[in-house]
Amino acid sequence: MAASDIELMDYDYYDDDYDDFACDDEVESLPELVDDQTTEEKNYAVLKESDIKQRQEEDITEVSNVLSISRNAARILLRHCRWTVSEALDSWFANEEEVRKSAGLIDQDHKIVVCSCEVKNFTCPICYERDSRRNFSSAACGHPFCNSCWSKYLEVSIDDGASCLILRCPDPSCRVVVDQDLINSLKELPEQYKAKYARFLLRSYVEECGKRRIKWCPGPGCENAVEFSSGNCENFDVFCDCSHEFCWNCPADEAHSPVDCEKVVEWNKKSSSEGNTINWILAHTKPCPKCKSPIEKKQGCMHMTCRAPCKFEFCWLCLGEWKSHGNFYICNSYKKAQRSGRYAQENPWKMAEENPWKRYIHYYERWTANQSSRKKALADLYEVKTVHMVKLCGIYHKSISELKGIEEAWLQIVECRRVLMWSYVYGYYLSENEETKKNIHLFEYLQGQAEIGLERLHRCAEVEMRPFITDYENLPTPKEFHDYYLKLINLTTVTKNYFQNLVRGLQNGLQNDKKNKK
């Protein structure tokens, strides 16, 4: 029995009576079954590149004003102190001389090299070429080098990466850091290098943030950063403006509520080590219908005999007792195969008492199934936004903003698939002792209600939309589309409430309160 077959057997009850689940009367009554859930305040802020640049400039200005130093010096000092204003000020007042030395600033008593106006030509200490004074530049220390050598020196350093931010003066005896103003003033340096240096400087504000809780969004191509609020927090899920979801606190970079980060790490290790084995088992083995031991078929005939002490003889195709087949096979028909022997009347994975191996397969299979459904929903979301909504606008004379509920429905589907996926991991690690039996029942109830609601919404968004975008010869009327659109919005709200109840219940440790039982 393949994994897809098991999944179909477990969930095919949705198909036969699906319209009954989504009838108008029930849809209207569903919101009464769930708790009113107010929108929770975000404990993070999404920062655009312009926001980060503004914060960076404000910090530079503050340090420059308080310490009465140039903006270049303040920028170098903050970079040295991991862009933490308080650390920069405290260290400066504690030991200014030591901070200047370690940060790469000029000493307080250092005399800047002042070139005499009578000197018209300089000799570059690097290339030994003589040139006019206007073709030479220097850092804050005053050591002059020709602009051509400066440009080559900077190009190589910037190509090496973010280490260019602590680049020192080329003079072997000098430890002064090259500042951004010098880089921007060099006409010989190509603009792409100036932009690249500025990019390194901006990114360092996030990546070397010191005490601030801020990091870049790991979404592909996203240039947003996320700043987390201080204080204790149990939910670290972040939903960036780019639509990417991730855990702020977890190296996995994937949003995984309602499961904590430790369980995610443990589950990922387990699934990576055993996942291939489980997939192979699901594809190449079947459980003995009597004792449930996994059996691999290595020979051609369908007559299987389980190992001792079971020794049950059965048909590989229908899992029925072999003696019921007589001298010919009777399992070529689907319905006959289901009636072939008392051991084959139910899904054999569900007939025996729970055992750890079968239990893991149960949760792992559903975790991977919802993971695949979420990936498909993400692809469908892109097609809906770029193709289907455009078609609907032309057919029913609507604007994109008037059809925003369709996109919101698919976004809700993607998010609910993620929550449902990780809820199975939560269920796998849920203790089964006597003290937590009520919690298990409550968890299964909340999860079941959420899953049924999600299947209604997913079917409505995926299947029931097809007539409005494919059958151009017999298009539904505008009123029919209006009714469908209202139903989709209603189901989106209902499903959101179900999953809010599920997440809230799991985050609260499945407390057996009346509110969660509604």
CA distances from 399 to 357, 406, 468, 469, 478 (A): 53, 12, 16, 16, 14
Buried b (16+ CB within 10 A) or exposed e, 484-511: bbebbebbbbbbbbbbbbbbbbbeeebe
Nearest to 426 by CA among 505, 482, 326: 505
Q: Which residues of 234-273 are buried (b: 16+ CB within 10 A; e: fewer)?
A: ebbbbbbeeebbbbbbbeeebbbbbbbeebbeebeeebee
Instruction: Give CA angle at 370 (250, 36), nearest 5°.
Output: 80
**Ranges assigned E (strand) in 202-308:** 214-216, 225-228, 237-239, 245-247, 285-287, 294-296, 303-305
Cα separation, 424 vs 420, in Å, equals 7
H helices within 466-508, ranges in order? 466-470, 478-507
Q: 301-325 b/e with 16+ CB inside 10 Å = b? A: eeebebeeeeebebbebbbbbbebb
Return all residues near 88 (Cβ < 8 A) that are at least 6 apart: 63, 74, 77, 78, 80, 81
**Which token pair is 486?**
């209202």
Burial class, 74, CB count within 10 angstroms (exposed 0-12 / middle 13-18 / buried 19+): buried
Q: Which structure tokens are listed for 220?
A: 């592909």
How is residue 159 annotated by DSSP?
H
Residues assigned a catalytic role = 301
Mark 366-376 as b/e (b = at least 16 C-beta within 10 Å). bbbbbbebbee
